[in-house]
């Protein structure tokens, strides 16, 4: 198969040109690869692109690295392929999955699941464990990160750590115990999955003076006190009140 430069020159695809900046065109679809770790193809987006291409083919060339892995434009490539139209492309040597993420950040934002699947495909086990925990316990992204201990890298927030591929699980056994204890509280309080409540319980469980069994036994008949709480601070104040009810030795749970 012959690749054609936009100026009319032809280059055999087998040579895999690596000139930076030159726009080339080919119908050798087998030449290209979807890079491992990129987002999954959105079929609805492909169909929209196909409709736009039929009306007016004014799309930028796709970007590929020296191995013809698609860095930017996998949906354009898929749409053009399905339409049987030539692929316009540029070679940018040295680009990889990090550049894919950066380019996508400035177009259609990556979702939490996009990042998760990306790092799972790269073999990072912490992300696979995160996925399993989130699916098993049904907590939100932020709550799952907090319980698994993702906020231990410097001063970066949980979400940024997750997006950058630096997410590390702390004590897995402790995380399992925390998930189970919070779930157990669901028998007594319907809002047990609220963000403020989860953060408050996580904080309490880090306090050596906090006895979970004592708290649960008292929550059985005092759960109404939690009504109206929204922030972590409000929950901590009420949890402390519930915990110390009829106790001689008062325990401080607020930070």
pLDDT digits (tens, 9 = 90+) for 54-67: 766 656 778 888 89
Residue 7 has pLDDT above 70, yes or no: no
Identify the helix (H) or strand (E) that includes residue 38: none
pLDDT category at 14 given cuts 50, 70, 90 is very low
- For residues 186 and 152, state if they share a domain: no
- Under 8 Å CB-to-CB from 252, ≥6 apart: which residues? 209, 240
Q: What is the extent of the structural domain holding 80?
A: 2-108
Residue 104, domain CATH: 3.90.1530.10
- For residues 150 and 120, state if they share a domain: yes
Query: Where is the domain boundary, 108, 138, 160?
Result: 108
Query: Where is the domain boundary, 170, 200, 220?
Result: 170
pLDDT digits (tens, 9 = 90+) for 122-134: 788 999 999 999 9
CB-count exposure of residue 120 (10 Å: 0-12, 13-18, 19+)? middle
pLDDT category at 248 given cuts 50, 70, 90 is confident
Q: What span, in angstroms and rounded, lies between the C-alpha atoms of 195 and 139? A: 9
Q: Which of 111, 125, 172 is nearest to 147 (CA)?
A: 172
- For residues 53 and 145, state if they share a domain: no
What's the predicted TM-score (pTM) here? 0.59
Q: What is the mean pLDDT of the chain?
A: 82
- For residues 53 and 89, state if they share a domain: yes
């Amino acid at each position: 198969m012959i690749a054609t430069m936009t100026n009319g020159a032809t280059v055999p695809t087998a040579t895999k040109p690596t000139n930076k900046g030159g726009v080339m065109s080919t119908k050798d679809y087998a030449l290209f690869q979807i890079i491992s770790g990129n987002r999954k193809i959105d079929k609805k987006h492909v169909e929209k692109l196909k409709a736009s291409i039929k009306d007016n083919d004014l799309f930028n060339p796709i970007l590929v690295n020296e191995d013809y892995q698609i860095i930017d434009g996998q949906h354009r490539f898929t749409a053009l392929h399905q339409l049987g139209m030539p692929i316009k492309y540029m070679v940018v040597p040295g680009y990889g999955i990090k550049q894919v993420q950066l380019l996508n950040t400035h177009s259609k934002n990556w979702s939490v699941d996009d990042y998760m699947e990306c790092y799972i495909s790269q073999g990072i086990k912490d992300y696979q464990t995160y996925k399993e925990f989130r699916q098993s316990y049904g907590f939100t992204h932020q709550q799952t990160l907090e319980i698994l201990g993702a906020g231990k890298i410097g001063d970066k927030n949980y979400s940024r750590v997750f997006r950058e591929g630096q997410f590390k699980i702390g004590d897995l056994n402790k995380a399992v115990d925390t998930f189970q204890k919070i779930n157990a509280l669901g028998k007594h309080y319907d809002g047990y999955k609220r963000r403020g409540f989860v953060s408050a319980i996580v904080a309490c469980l880090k306090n050596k003076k906090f006895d979970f069994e004592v708290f649960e036994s008292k929550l059985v008949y005092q759960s109404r006190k939690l009504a109206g709480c929204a922030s972590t601070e409000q929950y901590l104040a009420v949890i402390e009140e519930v915990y110390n009810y009829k106790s001689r030795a008062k325990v401080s749970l607020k930070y």
